[in-house]
Chain A
Amino acid sequence: MLCLRASRDKNVALYEQHHSARGPIARPDTRKHVRNQMRDFMVGNVAVGVIVVDGKAGTEAEFTFGEKLNIAIGVSKGFDILYKLKAVAPSGLPRIPLFFVAKTDTVKLDLDPAAVPAPSAAGTRVSTSAEYERFEQVWRDPALTALGFSAGKPGIAQYVQKLMATSWVALPGAPDTAYVVLVTKYMANWMAYADSAITRLTMSYLWLADQTAVNADGTGGFRGTGAKGWGEANFHRVFAHESGHIFGAPDEYASSKCSTSATAGHLHIANSNCEVSNPASVDCLMKNNIEAMCPATPGHWGWADLNGNGVLDVLEP
């Protein structure tokens, strides 16, 4: 399952009132907005909790101050990309409420990076959920514990619920949905990946930043994985791309083995821009390292009014 079916917002009218009005508005009881399940569409007040899992002092897993700043601005610039894509959404759509709020927690671990498995050599990487977990849990669970949460998925869920209950000062309304971003220089099974079901994405800064070239035979790349990073300068774009997964957009590049007949997102929209056997496929965020909108992505993110009644379909009761 790629996406989690979200519960419908029972407070749409209240939400619209808060977001369309410019005048004084009353703060709602935020407890009414807390849900156990997060939205699988990119609409509303989106809370993003960034957990910077900082490594042991003096090791490769330790972030520099400059890298922490790049993460902070990268998240903000990632928001900019998503706002920019909203601005070029198909004309004629109802207003798409979208507002990002963030908070960052930094956790300093005394964990030796050697305690985390080394990445798999080119051609041998296993892409199962268990393998992702084998890398991630080594540093993620101590970080969650240090923040006062349980280990594993329960801890992620607790963190998301805390985000939903967090008060962003003077924010009209509470968060409508939330997701967690784990950023670390400890090893992971891939440089960046997203799990929409628990609204968590992970970014391996060390891998992402690495620019070691891949050889013609597929070897080389980051530590012999055969995969080169996208560079620190592209942190925001990778963040935006992975955030796209959180809200239901699938990959559209050929190596993802996508299919134009497959559907995705809350509204089950076909992945019509998938590159596989599709000469009409265009370059865009879910396919390329650029800041352009894919034709099908608005639908995947819930930016659609298919029945033309002037209300986003994802917000209809």
Chain B
Amino acid sequence: MQQILAILSSDADEPTITSALGSGNSHSYLHPTVLIVDGDETVLSSLSQTTGVIATLSDDAATNLATASDITQLDTPGMATLIGNTLGVNTTFDEPVVLAVAGWIFGFSPQYQAMQSDRPREGETWDMQGCLPDDSFDNA
């Protein structure tokens, strides 16, 4: 099952989006207008043609984008331009949307995959004795 990112307009209609999902499932929102969906090509196609969906991006497209350029070297305006050009939309996305979309794309990048394949301290017992104070945060 592939993942799909959908950027929704602020007035997107809930029943319409739900219907467009078809056999797909909502996975999470990374921003109030950025929906991640688990679905196949049919779901991607359906969402792409749905009113209220500004743009969609498949995980394959995200992988290609993240492989073609090192997006960590960009800044927010540069990433906004890249996203706009990739999605073929004229919309100017604000920073929270850019970070949500770019973060998702970054997850498919060679850099992130390499980082995850060489995780430090794999399986170690947490030494997070600072997770909680000895007393209660209620005292703060």
Contacts of B102 in A (CB 8 A): 69, 72
Q: Closest CB of chain B to A210's CB: distance in Å?
A: 11
**Number of residue pairs spanning A and B whose beta carbons lie under 8 angstroms apart:** 221
Nearest Cβ in chain B — how far from A292, in angstroms? 10
Complex interface: chain A residues within 8 A of B111 (CB): 66
A231 touches B121 (CB 8 A): yes
Known contacts A103-B96, A197-B136, A256-B128; A170 and B106 CB within 8 A of each other: no
What CA separation (Å) do A275 and B106 show in the bound complex? 36
Of A34-42, A110-118, A127-135, A299-307, the one with at least 4 CB within 8 A of chain B: A127-135
The distance in angstroms between the C-alpha atoms of A71 and B30, with both chains bound, is 12
Whether the Cβ atoms of B28 and A99 lie closer than 8 Å is yes
Number of interface residues of A (CB under 8 A): 78
Chain A residues lying within 8 Å of B74, measured Cβ to Cβ, are 65
Q: How far is the CB of A67 from chain B (nearest CB, A)?
A: 9
A residues 59-112 with Cβ under 8 Å of B?
A: 64-66, 68-73, 75-77, 79, 83, 99-106
Chain A residue with minimal CB distance to B20? Answer: A170
User: Taking the nearest CB of chain A, how far is it from the CB of B20, in angstroms?
Assistant: 10
- Please, could you name 28 A-B residue pairs with CB atoms under 8 Å apart, sorted by A? A72-B104, A73-B104, A73-B107, A76-B30, A79-B27, A104-B99, A104-B100, A106-B95, A128-B134, A128-B135, A167-B32, A170-B18, A190-B128, A192-B128, A193-B130, A195-B137, A227-B127, A230-B120, A231-B119, A234-B119, A234-B120, A242-B131, A253-B127, A255-B125, A288-B124, A289-B122, A289-B123, A290-B123
- Determine if B131 and A77 form an interchain contact, defined as CB atoms under 8 angstroms apart: no
A10 interfacial by beta-carbon distance below 8 Å? no
Contact of A171 among B10, B14, B131 (CB under 8 A): B14
Residues in chain B near residue A103, CB distance under 8 A = 29, 31-32, 96
- Indicate if B88 sits at the interface (CB-CB under 8 A): no
Given A130-B139, A233-B120, A289-B126, CB of A245 within 8 Å of CB of B131: yes
Residues in B35-70 with C-beta less than 8 Å from chain A: 35-36, 52
Neighbouring A residues of B133 by C-beta, 8 Å: 127-129, 131-132, 193
- Asked if A76 and B103 sit within 8 Å, CB to CB, the answer is yes
Task: Please indicate the chain B residues that have their CB under 8 angstroms from the CB of A290 in the complex.
Answer: 122-123
A112 to B37, CA, bound (A): 41
Partner of A129, one of B75, B96, B128, B135: B135
Interface status of A14 (Cβ within 8 A of chain B): no
Tell me the B11-30 residues at the A interface (CB within 8 Å): 11-19, 21, 26-30
